[in-house]
Amino acid sequence: SDLQKQEERGELLQPLLFVLLVLCSVLLYFRVSLMDPGFVKPEEEEGEDKGQGVVMPQIPGDIKLRRCGYCLVKQPMRARHCQLCQHCVRRYDHHCPWLTNCVGERNHPLFIVYLSVQLVVLLWGGHVAWSGLYFEQSWEWLQHNIFLLVSFLLILIFTIVVLLLLVSHLYLISCNTTTWEFTSHHRISYLRHSELENPFDQGIILNLWRFFC
């Protein structure tokens, strides 16, 4: 049959790989959106005080950990309360409306993997859509190719958005800072009163190693 001939020529490998990438992207989406991003729990308060000096030796000693005014737990360094999730999140980065979940200490690395896989899927899909377009200056051509043209434009827009998001996150990770800390530096006490611009930065290699490993 034609299907067997295509399989023998290896023509089914690329479509199969593309479908697997799409499936992987969907599974990663649900994994990141449904998992605990690092919610602070009341029973963990005792262990927080012991670890702060190791994590942030450059922070002035007069800066005390404070209790959250919403959920009343003692906030660890770099944690923030998310009013949408109704929890304090460790190493809070941002609340993602597409995921309807926070991006924090536990799911941030997986979020980067999800963006990377999604970018590959979009680039591949954009290439397929572009290869199917043969431009002609006629109304009839536009009628027959309008769906493919709109699909390509949508893929292009999403590709740009995902690429910018991935690049910005990788930059922040390489500096060992978060989106919240980067945008609200002047409002965060442990950054505002620190002698260093970014007291968490330990060099690009070590920052990336500690984040992903």
pLDDT tens, 110-154?
A: 999 999 999 999 999 998 888 776 666 666 666 777 787 888 899
Please state the pTM of the whole predicted model: 0.82
* Model pLDDT, residue 151: 86
Does residue 110 contact residue 31 with C-beta atoms inside 8 Å? yes
pLDDT band, residue 209 (cuts 50/70/90): very high
pLDDT tens, 25-63?
A: 999 999 999 999 999 988 665 555 444 433 444 455 555
* Model pLDDT, residue 51: 44
* Model pLDDT, residue 102: 96
Mean pLDDT, residues 13-19 taken together: 87
CA atoms of 25 and 162, how far apart (whole Å): 13
CA atoms of 65 and 74, how far apart (whole Å): 7
CA atoms of 116 and 121, how far apart (whole Å): 9
CA atoms of 58 and 152, how far apart (whole Å): 49
* Greatest CA separation for the chain: 77
pLDDT band, residue 97 (cuts 50/70/90): very high
* Model pLDDT, residue 43: 67
The catalytically annotated residue of 68, 96, 175, 213 is 96
Could you give the angle at the alpha carbon of 209 between the alpha carbons of 203 and 211, nearest 5°? 100
Alpha-helix residue ranges (DSSP H) falling in the chain: 2-8, 13-34, 45-55, 108-131, 139-174, 179-183, 189-192, 204-212
Higher pLDDT, 64 or 54: 64
* Model pLDDT, residue 11: 64
* Model pLDDT, residue 78: 92
Higher pLDDT, 29 or 10: 29
Nearest to 181 by CA among 57, 98, 59: 59
* Model pLDDT, residue 91: 95
Higher pLDDT, 92 or 48: 92
Amino acid present at 52: Q
Does residue 162 contact residue 121 with C-beta atoms inside 8 Å? no
Task: Spell out the SS3 assignment of 68-102.
Answer: CCCCCCECCCCCEEECCCCEEECCCCEEECCCCEE
Task: Tell me the pLDDT of the chain averaged across its residues.
Answer: 84
Instruction: Name the residue with tokens 């007069």.
Output: 62
CA atoms of 177 and 175, how far apart (whole Å): 6
* Model pLDDT, residue 4: 56
Instruction: Name the residue with tokens 């262990």.
Output: 47
Q: Is 85 a catalytic residue?
A: no
pLDDT tens, 150-201?
A: 888 999 999 999 999 999 999 999 999 999 999 998 888 888 878 788 889 9
